Amino acid sequence: MARGYNLHANGIRQHLLHYPGPGGAPQLLLIPGITSPAITWGFVGARLAERFDTHILDVRGRGLSQSGDLDYTLDAMAGDAIAVAADMRRPIVLGHSMGARIAIRAAARDPAPFAGLVLVDPPVSGPGRRRYPANWAWYGDSIRLAEKGCSAEEMRAFCPSWTEEQRALRAEWLHTCRWGAIRQAFEGFSTDDIHADLPKIGLPARLVIAGGATVVLPEDAEEIAALVPGIEIRRVEGAGHMIPWDDLEGFLAAVMDFSAKDFLATDFSA
């Protein structure tokens, strides 16, 4: 059973959902993507809790975390990840899409609070690089629809392959995604240079690629492998960018055996 809780970190209220794992299980901090409140990842968190003590973050401006007149840059969100992780027991960070970019920036800035990184289909766009393959209208139009109040059936136009339950949950919660926060994060996909951060990562890391999407192409994976020596790479063949929505078992197979046990003894304070 999940339990929601708030904490004050990096100057704002951070809300998380906790899916308790087995006794002594490693902690895992899951950072969702650009328009995914924590609760929409609940079906994944419940399964991850079979091995990890799982905490899913509502990224600022989304879900039940603080919203309003805030800084919604990648640097601010990375600061949140660092501060939240510092309140935990050196969690593994599993970031999906924008959440993976947050994890990269956070670990490059301060690796001490983290035990390892699982980077799930991170957008590899940035200055001088190809655009992120999603269009802004998909985000902006669906948020405006949700702000008015919409049904699972109306959400079908944006998420045609999702189940009724998944579309209903998105219809219920998408209005909590602050339009300006999402717009700023989306524009950051083009302006933030995560490739400059990647060589600074010394944590155990795994890249999980959606084999049925075009967010991370084979040449992108090769570049990431060169920038982060030793990174593991897994592919979930046939799955779209929202991997667990398309193939939950494939997603779990790609992440559940990740371990940073030997790294937990590392002391970054020396």
137 class by beta-carbon count within 10 Å (0-12 exposed, 13-18 middle, 19+ buried): exposed
DSSP three-state, residue 107: helix
User: Could you tell me the CATH number of the domain that includes residue 257?
Assistant: 3.40.50.1820
Answer yes or no: is 14 within a domain: yes
> Residue 260: which pLDDT band, with cuts at 50, 70 and 90?
confident
Q: Residue 239: is its pLDDT beyond 70?
A: yes
The whole-number pLDDT of residue 245 equals: 97
Residue 251 covered by a domain: yes
Query: In the predicted model, is pLDDT for residue 24 greater than 80?
Result: yes
Average pLDDT of 188-215?
Answer: 98
| Domain assignment of residue 154, yes or no | no
Amino acid 262: pLDDT: 55
Is 140 contained in some domain?
no
Q: Which residues contact 194 (CB under 8 A, 6 or more apart)?
A: 101, 104, 105, 122, 124, 126
What share of the chain has pLDDT > 70, as a percent?
A: 96
Return the structure tokens found at 146.
């949700």
Q: The tokens 């809300």 sit on which residue?
A: 15
- What are the pLDDT digits (tens) for 76-135? 999 999 999 999 999 999 999 999 999 999 999 999 999 999 999 999 999 999 999 999
pLDDT for res 11: 98
pLDDT at position 1 is 81
The first and second tokens of residue 147, run together, are 């702000």
- % of the chain with per-residue pLDDT over 90: 96
pLDDT of residue 62: 98
- The neighbouring-strand residues paired with 30 are 56, 94
Asked, for residue 95, whether it belongs to a domain, the answer is yes
The rounded distance, in Å, linking the Cα atoms of 2 and 169 is 16
Pairing of strands 232-236, 3-9: unpaired
Over residues 166-170, the mean pLDDT reads 97
Give the pTM: 0.96
In the chain, the number of structural domains is 1
- Sequence-ordered alpha helix ranges (H) in the chain: 42-48, 74-86, 98-109, 136-148, 152-155, 164-173, 179-191, 218-227, 243-246, 248-255
Q: Residue 226: inside a domain, yes or no?
A: yes
Please, are residues 70 and 10 in contact by the beta-carbon 8 Å criterion? no
Give a yes or no: residue 114 inside a domain: yes
Q: In whole angstroms, how far apart are CA 54 and each of 30, 92, 124, 256, 267?
A: 7, 10, 26, 12, 23
Full residue range of the structural domain in which residue 89 is found: 3-134+189-265
Distance (Å, rounded) from C-alpha 142 to C-alpha 170? 10
Does residue 203 form part of some domain? yes
Residue 266 has pLDDT above 60, yes or no: no
